[in-house]
Amino acid sequence: MGSTAAHEKLKSEFRASNFSITRENKQRKQQRQNFHIYSDKPEQDESELQLLLEIQEAEKRKSNTMASDFGDSTSTIPGSPSNVAHNPIEALQNSLASGKYSDLLINHGLRRWKAHRVIVCSQSSILESMIEEHDNGTNTLNLSDYDYDAVRYLLEYLYGTNYVTQDVEPEFGLFDHIRVFNLGVSLQISGLINLSVLKFRHNLNNYVDSPLLFFSVVREIYTTQPQPSPLTPPVRRFQVFPSFNQNERERERVNVPTNPGLRLAVLEAGVAEMRKLLSGEYREEFLDLTGEVTDFQAEMYLLMLENPNRPLEMRVEEKVLCENCGPRPVGDGYLVETECKSCGEPRALAFN
């Protein structure tokens, strides 16, 4: 009885195994037929055909995996952006360097910059009014009438709120800052004006020790005026010091531009060093400068008159007993007793 049951069980397992093998063989046969139908190649042997079928299965599994990971397998996956900036200022600087998203072409001679109207026009209405719109849709801004280096520093400022010069000897970037200042005045960019004055004043007060360089800077400031744009409205002029506006004669004698930042810097330096300039080896050069640039001379006088409490350098004569002993304290004088030459009476003589 038990052997009969075991026998029946073996027969059942054998039939199931044969059925599975038969079904697998039918599937393989159908795959071979399908492959031969869609292939124009001659019939391959069994091993080569098996390899091709396995490759097809692998490609099919790969496609199914990608579809499950990204949804629709036919959708387009955008690539990641390149050169991502770390902050907004860097992004603006990169956009100027690459010309990406540009809608404005700035020209200076043969030099071209692919710029952006929103950056340029939002900081200067003068620049906005100078833009030329062409029929082909391009917008151009020609700055060839201005100093080239100043234009470079201007763009650096517009896209980064700062500009960097080579502040090294012998000029310490002073003339660069003067040119940037003049351009800022012409284009009415107050931030650029203030920044150039700040940089100029810092370098003048901390690095310059040559009177000849100082004289050259004064001549540059007083003899070069900002180039006005053809579209710039007339500039109202006033004096360096507000009280001068009350005296019409002084208004005629002293003619100061609306932005006196650089003039004030050299005036203050000239007044502070006037004693050395008048008594040192550069006396003649200083007198030649004041005779040549009369506005500079007049404004130094007015600066001292308007600021009578300005601290001045005072020379104090020390009371010295002798070279070995040095100065004496106040009240420490001499008392000498002697006889009068006329009557012979004893007398005391006190002196400091």
DSSP 8-class letter at 324: T
pTM > 0.75: yes or no: no
* Residue in the block written with tokens 């690095």: 207
Tens-digit pLDDT profile for residues 141-174: 999 999 999 999 999 999 999 999 988 888 889 9
For residue range 113-126, list pLDDT tens digits in order: 999 999 999 999 99
- 197 band by pLDDT with thresholds 50, 70 and 90: very high
Domain ranges of the chain: 90-306, 322-351
- Residue 328's Cβ-side half-sphere holds a number of Cα atoms within 13 Å equal to 11
Q: Report the pLDDT averaged over residues 223-248.
A: 51
pLDDT at 323: 47
CATH number belonging to the domain at 90-306, selected among 3.30.70.20, 3.30.710.10, 3.30.1300.10, 3.40.1410.10: 3.30.710.10
Is the CB of residue 20 less than 8 Å from the CB of residue 13? no
Length of the chain: 352
Q: What value does the mean pLDDT take over residues 285-311?
A: 84
CA distance 47 to 256: 98
